[in-house]
């Protein structure tokens, strides 16, 4: 009898360890280590060249036709598209806005790893996932994915000036402007690069342009911008990212190429790579210009970088349902994830530059040059935008559209302080 109980106990213990992946002393189970090794080996299999970047990143140059996306079951027969079909249709992409004032100096940021080499033709640079971050992830499947959107149905409190606070997502705090009311097939923004402090390793702070379809807790989304995300990247550098989900991040989607999904065509830009140079206080601001646009011929969602619209790659239409036709809204702004938002003590993780959006120029983080693409055949300044912030006292927004040629948007905040205890 006694030995049976012990056997059952041991079986349960083994099961528990394999489910949670960590042993009692915090070390990782043999099974998880093996699983992680297998995944990393698989990803490295098609590497034709390896570049060691001075910021600690390793870049694998992977055969473009063997990139991670093609491990996705829906993409087995997908034929890679090398450029969006709309680039040849020049009329459709001409911008209808006035040139901006000369004082608005723009500098495009670059990537650190390019100092150490480049990827040969026919390959794409893929930032190598580090073993440590993959081991620390709750599961290999969840690595690289944002925490799911789950609604907190709390009654709108009076302190929070935002009437929409009752639809706040658990542990997510956003400060955004969004355009809605049309069928969107494109969104664009010039996102100033910032270096927010992120308090804990499982928290993140991002700034992005997003196209969204669906409800608050279940939606399809594609987005791109910069992120400080230690649990994915292993440090607190500001990095260029793309992200997608087809279900509010419950089971699908991820950053960059960390899961099968996004198809990259560019051989010079590494997703998830550190952005440099780091601006000096009072120096010129750096920015990343992001265009996201659906190709009407293929229904793939393309991402282009910089004013010159360099193709990075695309999310194939196979990943989505509603977004095969269009998105319901375009969003610009910042997001903080922490289990310490929405209550006291609040996280000290900053959004944007760490200054309130309402402080405006020059200290607050900003997104300029916001454009949308709907059924009108050109990029245009969004006509209908709304502001939103989950925690007005922690992170807020300022949108200036009157008496300016081009709307200005400031967002962000310091997280915990006297106003946000
Ligand atoms: C996406 O939008 C379409 C309409 O454009 C709608 O029919 C569909 O249900 C939406 N998808 C989701 C996931 O809500
Ligand atoms: C939010 O944080 C709590 C811990 O405070 C955690 O139990 C919960 O799973 C988190 N929810 C999400 C969606 O991340």
Ligand 2 in contact with 171 (CB < 6 A)?
yes
* pLDDT of 169: 82
Query: Which residues are the active-site residues?
Result: 223, 335
* 3-state DSSP percent of the chain in helix, strand and coil, to 5: 20, 35, 45
Interatomic CA distance for residues 169 and 151, integer angstroms: 4
Q: Is 332:372 a contact under the CB 8 Å cutoff?
A: no
* pLDDT of 167: 62
Q: Is 275:110 a contact under the CB 8 Å cutoff?
A: yes
Nearest CA to ligand 1 atom 8: 322
Distance (angstroms) between ligand 1 centre and the Cα of 247 equals 11
* pLDDT of 11: 53
* pLDDT of 104: 40
Distance (angstroms) between ligand 1 centre and the Cα of 323 equals 7
Q: Is the dihedral of CA 97, 99, 104, 105 positive or negative?
A: positive
Nearest CA to ligand 1 atom 13: 214
**Ligand 2, atom nearest to 169 Cα:** 13
Q: What is the DSSP string of 221-256?
A: EEEEEEEE-HHHHSS---EEEEEEESSTTSSS-EET
Q: Is 303:159 a contact under the CB 8 Å cutoff?
A: no
**Ligand 2, atom nearest to 171 Cα:** 1
**Nearest-10 crossing angle of helices 2-20, 30-44:** 30
Distance (angstroms) between ligand 1 centre and the Cα of 214 equals 5
User: C-alpha distances in angstroms, 101 versus 46, 105, 148, 404, 406?
Assistant: 47, 9, 41, 11, 10
Counting ligand 1 atoms within 8 A of each CB, the residue from 321, 327, 329, 374 with the most, and so the one to mutate, is 321
Distance (angstroms) between ligand 2 centre and the Cα of 338 equals 8
- The bound ligand whose nearest atom lies closest to the alpha carbon of 212 is 1
In the numeric block, the tokens 């992200």 are attached to: 243
The residue ranges of every structural domain in the chain are 2-43, 52-412
Ligand 2 in contact with 342 (CB < 6 A)?
no
Strand ranges of the sheet holding 239-245, from the earlier edge strand across to the other edge:
254-255, 239-245, 218-228, 204-215, 327-337, 172-184, 385-389
CA 108 to chain centre: 19
Interatomic CA distance for residues 163 and 267, integer angstroms: 46
Distance (angstroms) between ligand 2 centre and the Cα of 339 equals 6
Ligand 1 residue neighbourhood (C-beta within 6 Å):
213-215, 219-220, 321-322, 325-326, 328
Averages of pLDDT over each 10 residues, the chain, 421 residues: 58 49 70 92 92 93 95 94 78 35 48 89 95 92 91 53 58 95 96 95 97 91 97 95 96 96 95 77 76 96 93 97 96 97 95 97 95 92 92 96 94 97 96
Q: Which two tokens stand for residue 294?
A: 């659906």
Q: Is 335 helix (H, G, I), strand (E, B) or coil?
A: strand
Give tens-digit pLDDT for 309-329. Answer: 999 999 999 999 999 999 999
* pLDDT of 41: 92
């Amino acid at each position: 009898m006694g030995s049976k109980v012990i056997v059952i106990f041991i079986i349960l213990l083994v099961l528990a360890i394999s489910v949670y992946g960590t042993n009692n002393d915090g070390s990782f189970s043999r099974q998880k280590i093996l699983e992680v090794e297998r995944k990393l080996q698989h990803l490295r299999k098609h590497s034709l060249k390896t570049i060691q970047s001075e910021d600690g990143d390793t870049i694998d140059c992977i055969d473009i036709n063997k990139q991670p996306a093609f491990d996705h079951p829906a993409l087995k027969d997908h034929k890679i598209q090398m450029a969006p079909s709309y680039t040849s249709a020049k009329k459709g992409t001409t911008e209808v806005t006035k040139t901006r004032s000369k004082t608005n100096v723009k500098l495009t940021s670059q990537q650190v790893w390019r100092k150490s080499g480049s990827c040969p033709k026919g390959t794409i640079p893929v930032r190598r996932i580090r073993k440590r971050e993959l081991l620390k992830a709750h599961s290999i499947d969840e690595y690289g994915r944002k925490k799911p959107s789950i609604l907190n149905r709390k009654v709108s409190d009076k302190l929070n000036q935002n009437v929409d606070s009752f639809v706040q997502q658990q542990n997510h705090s956003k400060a955004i402007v969004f355009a809605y009311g049309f069928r969107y097939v494109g969104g664009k923004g010039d996102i100033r690069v910032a270096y927010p402090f992120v308090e804990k390793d499982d928290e993140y702070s991002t700034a992005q342009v997003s196209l969204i379809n669906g409800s608050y807790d279940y939606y399809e989304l594609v987005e791109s911008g910069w992120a400080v995300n230690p649990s994915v990247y292993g440090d607190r550098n500001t990095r260029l990212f793309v992200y997608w989900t087809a279900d509010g991040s419950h089971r699908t989607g991820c950053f960059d190429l960390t899961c099968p999904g996004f198809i990259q065509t560019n051989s010079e830009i590494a997703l998830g790579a550190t952005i440099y140079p780091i601006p000096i206080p009072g120096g010129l601001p750096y920015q990343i210009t992001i265009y996201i646009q659906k190709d009407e011929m293929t229904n793939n969602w393309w991402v282009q970088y910089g004013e010159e619209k360099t193709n990075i790659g695309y999310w194939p239409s196979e990943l989505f349902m509603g977004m095969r036709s269009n998105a319901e809204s375009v969003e610009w702004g910042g997001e903080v994830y922490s289990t310490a938002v929405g209550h006291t003590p609040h996280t000290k993780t900053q959004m944007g530059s760490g200054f309130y959006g309402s402080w405006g120029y020059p200290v607050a983080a900003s997104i300029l040059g916001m454009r949308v693409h709907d059924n009108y055949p050109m990029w245009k300044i969004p006509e209908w935008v709304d502001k939103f912030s989950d925690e007005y006292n922690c992170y807020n927004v300022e949108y200036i559209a009157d008496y300016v040629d081009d709307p200005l948007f400031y967002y962000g905040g310091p997280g915990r302080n006297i106003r946000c205890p």
